[in-house]
């Protein structure tokens, strides 16, 4: 009996750590890496790099001029209000985002620089993001509206690209 319970719990744990991707989505999410870094230059900015880590060219539907995603904020292990670019919420209210299709060759990357003064916290009257408001927090990024065209004539597959958590914001490192 104990052995059956242990086996059941083991299987339950294994299922809970498997990523929640659809059958078509999984290979494409593994073909892309998303990196988030912070640059203190001027008033501070995030540097975001989306890289094709596969050996094939990918057709992606995304805006190459600006990041369309959500910056997740954590204080310790607790998630606190996220922030977005100032235009993000307006875009969410439209039925369609007009992003072009870009070809991303193997090992090629798209790089965005996002100044802090273009970002606002969700709610609280669009409170601006400042270096002080980042102090003591960890940040990650989800690209929400990223799509992949697997082949001509096939429908778009929506993929979530997530960055690793960036833990750099300590009081002593912020001017």
pLDDT tens sequence across 150-160: 766 667 888 88
Contacts of 29 by beta carbon, 8 Å cutoff, 6+ apart: 19, 21, 159, 160, 161
Considering Cα of 163, then 24, then 146, then 82, what sign does the dihedral take? negative
pLDDT of residue 9: 43
Terminal alpha carbon distance of the chain: 60
> Does position 109 have pLDDT exceeding 90, yes or no?
yes
Please state the rounded mean pLDDT for residues 50-78: 88
Residue identified by tokens 């083991």 is 10
- Return phi, psi of residue 123, to 5°: 75, -170
Please state the rounded mean pLDDT for residues 96-116: 86
Ordered by start, the domain boundaries in the chain are 23-173
Q: Looking at the structure, give the CATH architecture of the domain made up of residues 23-173.
A: Sandwich (2.60)
pLDDT above 70 covers a percentage of the chain that reads 70
Please state the rounded mean pLDDT for residues 101-123: 90
Residue pair 51/32 in contact by the 8 Å Cβ criterion: yes
Contacts of 144 by beta carbon, 8 Å cutoff, 6+ apart: 68, 69, 70, 160
* pLDDT top residue among 157 and 6: 157
Q: Is 29 left (phi over 0), alpha (psi -120 to 50) or beta?
A: alpha
pLDDT above 90 covers a percentage of the chain that reads 23
pLDDT of residue 81: 78
The rounded mean pLDDT for the chain is 77
């Amino acid at each position: 009996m104990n052995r059956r319970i242990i086996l059941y719990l083991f299987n339950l744990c294994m299922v809970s750590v498997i990523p929640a991707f659809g059958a078509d989505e999984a290979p494409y999410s593994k073909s892309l890496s998303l990196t988030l870094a912070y640059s203190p230059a001027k008033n501070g900015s995030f540097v975001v790099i989306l890289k094709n880590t596969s050996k094939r060219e990918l057709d992606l539907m995304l805006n190459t001029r600006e990041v369309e995603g959500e910056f997740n904020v954590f204080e310790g292990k607790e998630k606190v209000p996220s922030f977005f670019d100032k235009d993000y919420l307006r875009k969410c209210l439209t039925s369609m985002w007009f992003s072009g299709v870009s070809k991303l060759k193997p090992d090629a990357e798209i790089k965005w620089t996002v100044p802090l003064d273009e970002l606002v916290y969700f709610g609280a009257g669009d409170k601006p993001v400042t270096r002080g408001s980042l102090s003591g927090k960890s940040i990650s990024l989800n690209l929400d509206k990223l799509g992949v065209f697997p082949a001509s004539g096939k429908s778009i597959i929506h993929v979530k690209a997530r960055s690793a958590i960036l833990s750099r914001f300590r009081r002593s490192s912020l001017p």
